[in-house]
Structure 1
């Protein structure tokens, strides 16, 4: 299968590092022109420099905007007025105690993980429908199904993304626009990778050993018995954004290493 996205523009939110960066690179390798996004100018500039060194023939531009806010979302929309592909990757997570969290902390995470994607979809999907082609992907998590007790707020936001994604797929059914979710499992992304590196340093072990301990204690149902790579997640996303994936919409597609113990 040869995926060809030449002539398509893609917006990947939260793409200066980790899974988002890998998705941006993967889409560019398939020929798409890619807009990357991050909150700060320095991070965006550094990511653009790295991507242009890796893929000198590809087309990239960057927009620094905090999409957890309506103002930041409007900034992105004013700079990038249209797109063929939207990957709502922006998201974060924090270890916390449910009984100690404030309302503001809950609402802040909801704005960051959920409303950023809602606003972007609301802005860009009408144009896709009008043209009769488009791809929207929400990067959710296996934590949407396996709600982690140490991050209940995070699990809630990831479940919410599945609901928004499925609802939007229903809304634009038959238009040529598809909407899907991708559910990564434990991944060597920036956030989890840094956490594992810090844990390894504290315990005097290697990062591989820290990851194995995490899997044994937190995700013992993993079938691949390792963390996935950001490229493995990106591969699924690039496929879902392709012409070849035209028969897939309203789906929740796993790249979780088999962590979720269910057939459907």
Structure 2
């Protein structure tokens, strides 16, 4: 399907991660120029190598390593992207961490601040930094990579859940602000996708339970995610496909939506 974004410029934060690199690939395949943003230079190099292997012949994305924990860093990123790629039409906010997990009484203020800063405030700052260029062209797309946890919190990862609930509220409110200027804002909420983040969770679970990685995944699905009706982790490309659609001209009447990519995981409406 032609998504109508050939020649558009996209920025993908968290671009070196599983969902980020697959999103980058799809946008490149549709003819967009893509800037991959991530905190770690080595992760970006590895993502470039992956793209070269998995999608030979595609133009390489531009890459910018940056820690988005401050407003100054977000503004510097916008300036750097302007110099490298010109005006931006598409912004995918995908940077995020799981952060501290466990019983609420064992999680410190610093733990909460780390997760809220990375998952919520970095998205606020990056969006604010790129908003002038998104508004300038009369056509723009902002997509937030959220989580099922935004509407179905789990008691052992409350900082993450709260950060994602805040992100969902921010995205829905923002969708009302600039639609008349052609800037559409939407969210994608995956559940338990095959990414380095969930790999780390399952490695920890495997070690704690004294079982194999696959057994840890299976027990997690049975005990913690019983509403994932397909009975497996999702694939990052399955999430990226929805993100790419929301970045496109084909989504010209979609605004303020939250697309669940979760195998039926959320038990309540």
TM-score over 0.5 for the alignment?
Answer: yes
**1:202-260 CA-partner distances (Å, limit 9, x unpaired):** 65655333222111111111111111100100010011111101110000110011011
Which ranges of structure 1 fall in alignment gaps of 5 or more residues?
none
SS in 2 for 1:86: strand
Equivalent pair of 1:52/1:58 in contact (CA under 8 Å): no
Residue 97 (structure 1) shift? 2.8
Structure 2 equivalent of residue 57 of structure 1: 58
Structure 1 equivalent of residue 227 of structure 2: 221
CA distance in 2, matches of 1:105, 1:207: 27
| 1:68 equivalent in alignment to 2:57 | no
CA distance in 2, matches of 1:133, 1:252: 20
State the Cα RMSD in Å.
1.8
| 1:30 equivalent in alignment to 2:35 | no
Residue 195 (structure 1) shift? 2.5
Bigger Cα displacement from structure 2, 165-174 vs 42-51: 42-51
TM-score, length-scaled by structure 2: 0.91
CA distance in 2, matches of 1:108, 1:242: 32
Equivalent pair of 1:12/1:87 in contact (CA under 8 Å): yes
Which ranges of structure 2 fall in alignment gaps of 5 or more residues?
none
Distance 1:75 1:96, change over 3 A: farther
Bigger Cα displacement from structure 2, 220-229 vs 39-48: 39-48
- Count of matched residue positions in the alignment of Structure 1 and Structure 2: 263
For residues 205-216 of structure 1, the aligned pairs below 5 Å read: 205-216=211-222
| 1:77 equivalent in alignment to 2:82 | no
CA distance in 1, matches of 2:208, 2:224: 18
CA distance in 2, matches of 1:22, 1:42: 17
Equivalent pair of 1:68/1:113 in contact (CA under 8 Å): no
CA distance in 1, matches of 2:109, 2:209: 34
CA distance in 1, matches of 2:175, 2:208: 45
Distance 1:201 1:111, change over 3 A: closer
Stretches of 4+ aligned residues off by more than 4 angstroms: 201-206
CA distance in 1, matches of 2:248, 2:168: 20
SS in 2 for 1:170: coil
Structure 1 equivalent of residue 42 of structure 2: 42
